[in-house]
Structure 1
Amino acid sequence: MPVALIWLIAALALAGAEALTGDLFLLMLSGGALAAAGTSWLLNWPIWADGLVFAVVSVLLLVAVRPALRRRMTSGTGLPEPAKALEGRSALVLDRVAQHTGQVKLEGEVWTARPLNENDVFEPGDQVTVVHIDGATAKVVKIA
């Protein structure tokens, strides 16, 4: 079996193993093995030279590329939760909102609602503001 093919198989195996870890370490080693396969095929160097290419390229990828990729993957706040976007919106009370009961119409949907202050009671037809979404329950206060 040609040496270049062995390096190529090693590169594919390392890339496949990376899919299981997700740490980007094995992917950088896979890049080194791919470079060694390329130089072995193109230049027909001795195996120790292919090993040297593998080591140099792998170290360069680990030092230069991996940190930048990891920063890129972990940067950003992500998308906001859809329920969080409803906080601060006004809603219409459909069913009396008290400590243990209540429903409001919020953005065209019916939500279970509870007053933010436990002693407050809101009657049907009242306009309220959503202060917090707790699971599937909207915590509301009266619009002043």
Structure 2
Amino acid sequence: MAAIIWLIAALVLVGAEALSGELVLLMLAGGAIAASGTAALTDLPVVVDAVVFAAVSVLLLAGVRPVARRHLLRRPTLATNAEALQGKTAVVTTTVDAHGGQVRLDGSIWSARPLHSGDVFAEGEDVMVMQIDGATAVVWKS
């Protein structure tokens, strides 16, 4: 009977973890599953189950949670969207100056402006995309 109670407690903790997302309740659920296993396999008093719950929960909180959080919070190594365009070469299609212009970047036409307001890039020149500012490529002579 104690094993079922521990298992129910683990399921409740997992459900509550789905709402919080901090991984604390999930570690406590791991402790409850360990206590459930202890209760199912042995005929020891409930106090032993509670000690197993506490010990496993502390070990999971101290050892597993920091590693899991680090992996969950890591940014993807693959650059996506605007980040993927930075550093690429573009070809000027309409003169780029402080008032604007256009470049062909990855097969698409983008609005462009120079990195330094005094620069002017003529049609056909190769430029490097330094950053993407909204829908405008900020370019510099490559």
- TM above 0.5, one fold? yes
Q: CA deviation at 1:103?
A: 0.9
Aligned length: 142
- Greater alpha carbon shift after TM alignment, 20-29 vs 78-87: 78-87
C-alpha distance in structure 2 between counterparts of 1:26 and 1:7, whole Å: 14
> What is the TM-score normalised by the length of structure 2?
0.83
The correspondence of residues 122-141 of structure 1 with structure 2, limited to 5 A, is 122-141=121-140
Once the two structures are overlaid, the 10-residue window that deviates more, 61-70 or 71-80, is: 71-80
Pairwise mapping of residues 29-68 of structure 1 onto structure 2 (< 5 A)?
A: 29-68=28-67
Q: What's the % identity of the aligned pairs?
A: 54
Residue type of the alignment partner of 1:39: T
Letter of the structure 2 residue corresponding to residue 22 of structure 1: G
Q: SS of the residue aligned with 1:68?
A: helix
Gaps spanning 5+ residues in structure 1: where? none
Indicate the SS of the match to 1:102.
strand
Does the residue aligned with 1:97 lie in a helix, a strand or coil? strand
Following superposition, the deviation at residue 132 of structure 1 comes to 2.4
Q: Aligned partners of 1:117, 1:57: CA distance in 2, in Å?
A: 59
Return the offset for 1:77.
Answer: 6.5
What is the root-mean-square deviation in Å for CA atoms of aligned residues? Answer: 2.2
- The code of the aligned residue for 2:11 comes to L
Query: How far apart, in 1, do the equivalents of 2:87 and 2:62 lie?
Result: 46
Provide the C-alpha distance between the structure 2 equivalents of 1:34 and 1:110, rounded to a whole number of angstroms. Answer: 57
Q: Which residue is 1:97 aligned to?
A: 96
TM-score with structure 1 setting the length: 0.82
Give the corresponding residue for 2:108.
Answer: 109
